[in-house]
Every structure is written in C-alpha cells, then in structure tokens.
Structure 1
Amino acid sequence: MVRSSHFSRLKTAQALRQQQKGSEGDIQNFDLHIESLNEHGQGCAQGPAKEMLTVPFALPGERCSAKGRLNEPLQLLKLHEVSDQRQQAPCPEYGECGGCQLQHMRYAEQVRFKRERLWQGLSKLINPEPKAKPKSKPKPKLGRKPSQNKANHPAFNSDVRSAEAISILDSSELAYRRRARLGISEQGRLGFRKAASNDTMSIELCPILTPPLQAMMRVLNQALATFPKVDWRSHLGHVELLDVEPAPLALLRVVKTIPQGAFEHLKTVVAEHGWRLAIQSQKDADIEAVLGELDSFYSIGRHTLAFEPGRFIQVNAGLNEAMLKQALQWLQLQSDERVLDLFCGVGNFTLPLAEQAQQVLGIELSEDMVSTAQDNARRLGVDNVEFMAANLDVGDALLSNDERLTESRPDVVLLDPPRAGAGGFIPTLLELSPERILYISCHQGSLLRDLRRLGQASYRLEKLSLMDMFPNTEHVECMALLRKG
C-alpha cells in the first residue's frame, strides 16, 4: 500500500449516479475501508451500521471518502490510501463512459479477480449448502415411506478443485475490439452510452478499439462535425464499425434520409481512406453497399471465413484464435469421431473441427448464417461437414425429425450458446449422451446452471478455463470440458 492525499484524475462523479427507484434516505458522506469486490468489480465496505456499501472504482485495501444513499452505489470522492493494484486509466473518458468498468485495475489483477469470481460460483456446485432441517418432522402419509433429508443438489463431480486449477486465456489489454456499435450523442458525434445512463456521450478516441477503428471513429466524427446544423440523431440510429477484410467497413443504420450534401461528404472521406461504406434502412432490411463490396471475411486457424456485416462475429480476434487452439488441444479429436457443433454461426469452430474429425454437423438458428456457413465449406473444399438451421431452445424436435442425429449419435458436442445458455437443449443433449462436451460460455450464471444439470447426469468437469474476451470490463467468458462417467 502507498499513501495518497488526493484522488487521481479518474472521472467518477456525474457518471455513477444511479437513478434507482425506491432508494431511501438522504445523501450521506462516508469514510470507508474497502474490504473486497462484488461480482461487478465494485469495492465493498461496511457502513456505520454494518450494512454493506458499494463504491465503484475502489479497490480492496483502499481507504476512501464517498457519498451517496445507502441503497445505491456510492460516488467515490477521494482516496486516502491507494492499492498497489491501482493504475491510471488509459482512457481519458473512463468513469464517464459506460463501456469499461475495470481500467483502474492493473490487468493481472483484473484476470485474478475474474478467475476468483468464477471459482466462487463453481465451488458452490462442488460443495452445495445442505437444506435446513425442519424443526419438526411432518408425519408421513399412509402408504408412503418417510423421505430422507438430502442436500439441495448432489455434489458436483469436478477435477477442478481450486481457483488455481482454472486456466487462463488472457488478451491484449487494449486495441483488441474489431467490431463496435456506436450511438449518436446530443452533439451529433459517435460514442458509447454514459455509465448508468441511456444517453450517448461523444468520444473521439476509444483505446480498446483496434487502430483502424480508432482512425475511422475519429474521421467520421470530424465529418459529422462539418455539418453542425444537421440533426444527426434524427438521421442515424447507430453506426457499426468493422475491422475485417478486405477493408474496414462503416455500416450506417439510417432511420431518416441524410441530406445529400452531408452524405456525399461522408462518402468522400470514407473513400479517401480506402474504407468501405454500407447502409441499412430498417432493422431487418437488407444491407446496401455504398462504397466497396459487402463481402467481408475474417481469419480463424488456417481458414478465412465469410460473414454478413451486421451478424455476430467474435470481437476479439486474438482471443478467438487462442480459443480455437485450446478447444482442439482439449478435445484431441480422433479421425473416426463425429462432432455436433451447436450455435455454430458461420462455422467458426465447425470448419477447423472438420480437419480432425470424421464428420461434423453444425446447427444454427439463423438460416442466413447457415447458408453462409455452407458457402464457406464449399469455398474451402471441406466436404465432411454439414449445416442445418434449427431452434436449439426446443431441441427435442431434432431427435424426432432429423435422422442425422438419430442414426449416428455424436461422440463430441461443442456448444457456444448466447448469454441465456443452452437450457432448452440440455435434455436433448443428455439423450444424445456424447462422450465429451465442450461448453463455451459468455455468461457465468447460465454456464453454472447448465453444468449443474450435466453433473446430475453423471458428467464430470475435467477442465475449466477463464477466457478474457473483454479486458477492462466485468464480462467473463469460459470454456469447460466435461466427460461422461
């Protein structure tokens, strides 16, 4: 610990006022000793009445002054003792912008915090709390045997028995994000939402974006500023920036026709930098190319995959490569094994898996993404892979309607679901009964919920990895390998 008589230039005040209904009491001032971090990375301290208070941007071991209401996150005013894990945030907008939550924390500590949080959740599966015994046993009904007291859930079978046993895939701390969706501020500039607000703030530089996107954001903001009388918020819903091949792309969601002079100027500055430009007039409308072709590509493993702008791709290219490499290392696929790839997208995992397996079937909800995945397979000459469109939230229909699953059950299932997890498919997954399951998750809560159900069906957690797809944020992505028996 080092001492400091002042709080650094980190912006906190206006951005962190929570507008929560039901907050009670007047604003109070507190002198606090931060003891721990909550799940969002906010500092936690005991208040004067032993109540738990939260202070965003405060770190364990720090002493600080803060103010606010008891039922809200407090506003950090001044640091009196500073943790050696604190750093100067690399972004000048940090604290006001809502995009990042952990830039004040050294990167190694960010990763340690996320791994510890993951372990705390897993440990509750491994050692569940027993049910509270009733004060008096109810009399059994006639003809029924008295039930025995049991824990809420059977103990979860796991080879991962400590936080240190959770492996880590870390990332570049900055300049990692190759895709960003930006709003329009009141000043008519691109930016992200303010912390604890739906309002968009103007941002000239975002250090977590890749250098090409940083340059594109700066140039587009200059172009918008050239026409101060244009109400850009009435014309643009959002702007999506993509750092992909063959050149960076700006996708404009146009909700009202842009004045011709302003639009021609946008086209000119985009063309001068060799970038591409496209527009979309409605949420689900077709995307129209304005400058350059719409065809877009990204690399993964030895493959270059096509995708449709506006559709999902992993935003962190380096972590995506590391994630694939680890998946292949963990699975150790044999040439006679069959693989089922769920939530497969355009083939991000499916096509590399097909290099090692006998056959791979990829399933995705979007028919457009399935069509793109099929085109990728044909273009790359991969002939031992199939794709199909299906709603995986109602997986029971697949077994009864598709002979590709009933005739040749998969040896391995890889699933990469959205934040809600794979709860709707778990019963079908258990009926398929694969030898190994590789679960890639972007939400810790849904992962742990689904792991519990798989554990109850005699699957053992063999490996678990924290994957830091989004450095400087609270978000956690994980990879889990489960084996039957």
Structure 2
Amino acid sequence: MTDSIPKGDAPPYSNDEWLKVESLDLEAQGVAHRADGMVVFIEGALPFEEVQFNQHRKKNNWAQGTVTAIRRESSQRVRPGCPHFGLHTGACGGCKMQHLDATAQVAVKQRALEDNLWHLGKVRPENMLRPLEGPAWHYRYRARLSVRHVVKKGTVLIGFHERKSRYLADMQVCPVLPAQVSDMLMPLRALIGSLDARETCPQIELACGDAPGTTTLGVIALVLRHLQPLSASDLQRLRDFAAAHAGVQWWLQPKGPETVRLLDEGGPALSYGLPEFGVTMPFKPTDFTQVNPHINRVLVGRALRLLDVRPDERVIDWFCGLGNFTLPLATRAREVLGIEGSDALVARATDNFQRNRPALPARGALAATRFVARDLFEMTPAMLVADGAADKWLVDPPREGAFALAKALAELNQQHGGRSDNWSPPARIVYVSCNPSTLARDAGLLVHEAGYRCSAAGVVNMFPHTAHVESIAVFDRA
C-alpha cells in the first residue's frame, strides 16, 4: 500500500537499488542506507535482509518507504499469527512486529532500552537483567475497541484502526485478545448492528478479570459508550448477549469515566490476583491496570525481589495507582506509603488495602499502610522531605516519567548529600517504566546529580508484537 504523502514531501518512487537492512527501529521499520548515504526507514524489512522499497516520504537527510521485494530473507522472519497484520490495504495497525520472531522482538526492545539510557541519560547499567517474557498471544486483557456502523457496507466494524488510517480495520479475529474475546468479535458486530442505538455507540472498552480464586480469565467486562440513552429493547439485547456468552458483564458509560455503571448488579466482582503475595485486587473496568496480567504477576515479584525489602524498613510507592505494588510491599515491609495523583485512585487503593489487610493462612496481616494524593509532576524538595524518609522507593510512573521527583531528589543531594536530622535519601530505588526515553532522562538525573548508580536494568515484554517497551531499573545509593 502506498501511504498518503504529507504536503511538501517528495513524490513516491521505486528504484532498482538493493539495500542491506542494518537494524530495526522501535516502529519496526528496517534501517538502511542508500548509496548516497541517506538513511532509509523501510516498513516490512528486517535486519540483515537485502530489499528493494517503494519510497513514499523524503526529507533532507532521511527517507521512508515500504518493502517491495526481498532478495535475502532474515532467519528471524516468521509468518504473522493474525490474518489482519501486514502492509496490505485495510491491514490492522494494532501490531507492528508480528513478522519478527517473538524472541528477536525482545532483543530489539532490550537494545532500545540500552540505547536510550546511554544516548539520552549517559547511563550504562552495571548489569543487564534477563528479559521478562510471557505468552506472545491472547495476553491482552484490556483494550479500547472503536465501533462504527458503516452504512455503505451494511455492517458494523469493531476493533483497532487500520495501519496509518482513521478508518477501522475489518477485524474478524484478534489473536492478541483472549481467545474468548476474539471469538466474540463477529457476534459483537451483529449485536451492535441490531441495536436501535447503533449510530451512537462509538466505543467498547474491554477489561478482563480473574475467575474467583484463580488466575485464569473469568469476568469479561464490556463497557459500552453510548451517546444517547438506550431503549428498553436495546438493554434486553445486551442482557441476551451476556446470557449467551460466558463471563460477559455489561457496563454502561453515558458520559465520562465517572458515569460508568453495571447494567445489572450481581455476579462476580472484577478483580485480579497476585497469588505470590496472597493479594486480590478489585478494580473497575475504567481503572488503570496492566494490559498483560501474566507479565504483571511476574513483574511485581521481580520488583520486590530487586528492592529486597526487609521487615524493619519503610517503603514509599510513588505513582501507586490501585496498590498493584503497594499491597505486595505491605507483606514485606514495616510500613508503606502509597502516593498517587488521583483522589479517586487513592480512595480505591485504601479500600483494596482494607479488604486485603487481615492475615491469611499463607501470610500475616498487611503492614501499616496509608495512601495520600499528591501532584507528582509538581514535586519539590520540601514536599519530598514532608513525606518522610524511606529506606527504599518503588517508582512506577506513566509515560511522562518521574522528572519532578528525580529533580527534587537531585536538589536535596546537592544540600549536604541530601541528609538532615529528619530525612535521608533511600538506599535503593526500583523504577518501573513504560517509556525508555523518560526513564533515560530520569536515570541521568539520578546517576549524575542525585548520587546513585544504575546497578541493573532490563526489559519487560508487556506488549508482544507492538513497539511498546516496558522496563525496570535499579538505582543504588553510591
């Protein structure tokens, strides 16, 4: 497919030059150089392949195109697991790396992490951690699926957008979603097509929870965004669909996220378990939880082992959300403080703590834990001191990173090494990141200005087949 050409770019052309692909960028584009030295980004090409391409964009020092022929194929090239993946017209844009072996995808992400840490933060980890990997398929327990009634085609489309397009892909299956949900896509399309409100339902948000007492899929929460009130007959159609599909639970969202409510009360609660720590986390379908529960369980375990919390230590969990790390920390530490920017999430985390606090046969009662709301993007040294000293920190920010927090810590370090009569910096920080560039920026501050060394780092393949890089890094007080 030839993509549309942005205004001012060179017109498309193809030529007979064969290029050797040198590497892969995080958009899963092969990187090569033309004979004149210009760098070329080639969609569909993999490292060490010899390819021809159709150029559809050109700037002063780089060009972009799509592979048209492969003379020497990479040993890491595999057959995509989804019929909707590819470079063809109408291809789904949800995944970028299905043509690359899953293990090789992890190696690309590890290299991206190392490159970002060095080029942006001038930081080299002393040790590279073994990547965390899990199932490559059927892992995605959360998704925001667009819905569109296409009158000209006489059908309803549900899923992700086409590659580089505002149009929805005609998805009939999706192998990264749980198998039960993938099998439900066509019945869902038929359901929405039967609704009186089919023109005013733009989105279905998916959130899956565990079956009670297990870590297997149980509840399939479907949040229907509807711009107009639903008729009684439409509500009955939703109920009939739920009755015909095991585990389905309809939620309705007439306006913002705060308006989300269950269609019918009763049934199992939406939750996920962290069995290593004897913790169960209830959540609402619009709350932030990790997309991949298989990896999340392993990630929480690794983070706590790296933090190496002892029973006499106080720990702060920054950007704590619902308490995904806070409650497991409370099974190990003397005292835990969870800090989050949202009052609603603080209330939810507090409730989760109270539900899990009593002792179980497998563990004792959770340690003293409290949650506070704080604007973590406006942190100052004074605010940091006011929250009290802690032996260890766990930091799990959104994509924007934890710049204000790292900067406040760096500023305190400039003042007598950060120590005072009532405050001292943490001996160890474990930083969980969903953006390698902001991690690198913050790592530069921690290492070069806050008095830490980066003792370890590694990738977490939370999103197989996508360009998303999740990682974890350990900083020890130098």
Q: 1:125 to 1:250 in 2, by over 3 A?
A: closer
Out of 163, 168, 171, the residue aligned to residue 200 of structure 1 is 168
1:428 matched to 2:408:
yes
Q: 1:67 aligns with which of 54, 58, 77?
A: 54
Contact map agreement 1:18 1:73 (CA 8 A) in 2: no
Mean Cα deviation higher: 269-278 or 451-460 = 269-278
Q: Which residue of 1 aligns with 2:215?
A: none
Q: Which residue matches 1:378?
A: 354
**1:440 matches 2:405:** no
Q: Does 1:58 align with 2:51?
A: no
Who is 1:212 aligned against? Answer: 180
* 1:223 and 2:191 matched: yes
- Aligned partner of 2:74 in structure 1 is 83
The aligned amino acid for 2:328 is P
What is residue 332 of structure 2 aligned with on the other side? Answer: 356
In the aligned structure 1, how far is the partner of 2:36 from the partner of 2:24?
Answer: 19
CA contact (8 A) 1:366 1:389 kept: yes
Post-superposition Cα deviations, 1:181-215, rounded to whole Å, max 9, x if no partner, equal 10024342211011112222231211011123223
Q: 1:329 aligns with which of 287, 305, 326?
A: 305
8 Å CA contact 2:315–2:336 kept in 1: the answer is yes
Aligned to 2:344: 368
Q: Quick one: distance in 1 between partners of 2:234 and 2:15?
A: 50
Residue from 22, 28, 33 that aligns with 2:14: 28
Q: How does 1:68-467 map to 2 (within 5 A)?
A: 68-71=55-58, 73-95=64-86, 96-124=91-119, 156=123, 158-160=125-127, 165-185=128-148, 186=150, 187-226=155-194, 232=198, 234-245=199-210, 247-258=219-230, 260-274=232-246, 275-293=248-266, 295-300=269-274, 301=276, 302-381=278-357, 382-396=366-380, 399=383, 403=386, 405-406=387-388, 409-430=389-410, 431=412, 433-456=425-448, 457-467=450-460
Contact conserved, 2:313 with 2:334, CA < 8 A, in 1?
Answer: yes
The answer to whether the Cα contact below 8 Å between 1:182 and 1:239 also exists between their aligned partners in 2 is yes
Q: Give the conservation status (yes or no) of the 8 Å contact 2:44–2:66.
A: no
1:218 & 1:287 partners in 2: Cα distance?
25
Cα distance in 2 between the residues matched to 1:21 and 1:170: 41
Q: Give the AA of the match of 1:297.
A: S
Query: How big is the shift at 1:293?
Result: 4.2
Measured after TM superposition, the shift of residue 260 of structure 1 is 4.6
The reply to whether residue 479 of structure 1 matches residue 478 of structure 2 is: no
Larger Rg: 1
Task: Indicate how the Cα distance of structure 1 residues 455 and 81 shifts in structure 2: closer, same or farther if over 3 A, else same.
Answer: same
Stretch of structure 1 that moved more, 55-64 or 359-368: 55-64
242-251 vs 414-423, which moves further = 242-251
Letter in 2 for 1:114: K
8 Å Cα contact 1:35-1:44 kept in structure 2: yes
User: TM-score, normalised to structure 1's length?
Assistant: 0.84
> Cα offset for 1:398?
6.5
Partner AA of 1:307 in structure 2: F
Give the letter aligned to residue 392 of structure 2: V
Task: Find the aligned partners of 2:146 and 2:382 in 1 and give their Cα distance.
Answer: 39
Q: Secondary structure in 2 aligned to 1:425?
A: helix
Q: Percent identity?
A: 29
Contact 2:118 2:440 in 1 (8 A): no
Alpha-carbon distance, 1:51 to partner: 1.2
Q: Deviations over 1:25-54 (max 9, x none)?
A: 343335432222223221122234321111
Tell me the distance in 2 between the aligned counterparts of 1:272 and 1:108: 38
Give ranges in structure 1 of 5+ residues lacking alignment: 1-12, 129-155
SS at match of 1:213: helix
Query: Where does residue 214 of structure 2 map in the other structure?
Result: none
- Separation (CA, whole Å) in 2 of partners of 1:464 and 1:374: 31
Does 269-278 or 321-330 show the bigger shift? 269-278
Gaps of 5+ in 2: 212-218, 358-365, 413-423
- Give the C-alpha shift of residue 85 in structure 1: 0.6
Q: Distance in 1 between matches of 2:351 and 2:470?
A: 29
Q: Which moved more, 1:452-461 or 1:291-300?
A: 291-300
Q: CA deviation at 1:18?
A: 4.9
Q: TM-score with structure 2 length normalisation?
A: 0.85
Name the stretch that deviates more: 345-354 or 182-191: 182-191
The structure-2 alpha-carbon separation of the partners of 1:464 and 1:199, relative to structure 1 and needing over 3 Å to count, comes to: same
Q: 1:18 to 1:293 in 2, by over 3 A?
A: farther
Deviations 1:43-94 (A, max 9, x none): 1222343211111111122222321234253122232221111000000000
Instruction: State the 1:461 CA deviation.
Output: 0.5
Q: Is this contact kept in 2: 1:178–1:213, CA < 8 A?
A: no
Number of aligned residue pairs: 432
